[in-house]
Amino acid sequence: MDVGIGSVLITGGAGFIGSHLAQALATKGCRVTVLDNLTSGHLENIKDFMKDITFVEGDIRDKDLLKKITQHCDVVFHQAAVVSVTKTVDDPVGSALVNELGTLAVLDAARQNNVKRVVLASSSAVYGDDPQLPKIESMPPNPLSPYAVQKLTNELYADLYNELYGMETVCLRYFNVFGPRQDPSSPYSGVISIFMRLATEGRTAVIFGDGEQTRDFVFVGDVVQANILAATGNAAGEIFNVGTGKAISVNALWALISRMAGDEQKPTYEPARAGDVMHSLAGVTKGYDRLMFQASVPLTDGLSQTLAWYRNHLTAQ
């Protein structure tokens, strides 16, 4: 299926979400360029379709490189970032150089080359610990980490470029994305990738707090679809949540994953981590009304696909 986009650049395209987006767009006939410095991305993620894309190893802070590879580009999908909240807490300045100045460099290269639209990956972290559920896009932001501040700053820059320069921008606030290729080896991985590795290896999970905290988990394939709709729909200057509108507790999640893995084990518990949000749930009305985006992969189906990938991946290591 042709999505009507000729040429795209995906920053962070060898990463977890970026590689899925690159594969989907290449399959749909787009000319795809992937830019990644391989800090957290992996060539393994794109090796199966490397012949169908152009891979450039480089950094989003390299303004000359960005200016070169955004020429003749219709859409930029900006996925590159320091994605760990913990890393941004440990190194707020270093992470801001990537997440803020790097994003600004991407936006400006796109402006200079008259790119039609830039779709930026933002985060539900901008909502902070506001107890209101679901989280809707019109809520006042309440960032509680350098990561959340950096993502919110990106949204402000995106809006500025849309208004001041007339370059179309769309920001997507991801909730808890999961799926194949999410790196299970990093201590900063999402909880599902960590649980998957533990269940596959027959080990039990450590849950911080009482495990009754809830999260809105959205499958990576649905996130790809949201990006494509954001690139092609009537959405310029807008911000959208990307989630399912459904939540599950961490306790129930571990029980489900360990049962699927065939080795049900009781988790152990440690004290809650400072700054952890108790409940998170995406409001999905705006995304459906404006983009016709609706997450379509049920949690159990997404977990099944992800578990199969982890089993193959860990066996091959």
**Alpha carbon 176 to its chain's center:** 8
Task: Calculate the alpha carbon distances from 151 to 123, 127, 213, 227 in Å.
Answer: 7, 11, 23, 17
Report the DSSP beta bridge partners of residue 218. Answer: 177
Q: Which position among 127, 147, 157, 161 bears the catalytic label?
A: 147
Has 161 been annotated as catalytic?
Answer: no
Q: Cα–Cα distance between 155 and 153 in angstroms, integer? A: 5
Alpha helix (H) residue ranges in the chain: 16-27, 63-69, 85-90, 92-96, 103-112, 146-164, 191-200, 220-232, 250-260, 285-291, 299-316
Q: Cα–Cα distance between 172 and 241 in angstroms, integer? A: 6
Q: Cα–Cα distance between 91 and 217 in angstroms, integer? A: 27
Q: Write the DSSP string, 102-122.
A: IHHHHHHHHHHTT-SEEEEEE
Residue with tokens 């787009």: 30
Residue 163 phi, psi dihedral angles, 5° rounding: -80, -45
Indicate left, alpha or beta for 200 from its phi (over 0: left) and psi (-120 to 50: alpha): alpha
Q: Report the catalytic residues.
A: 147
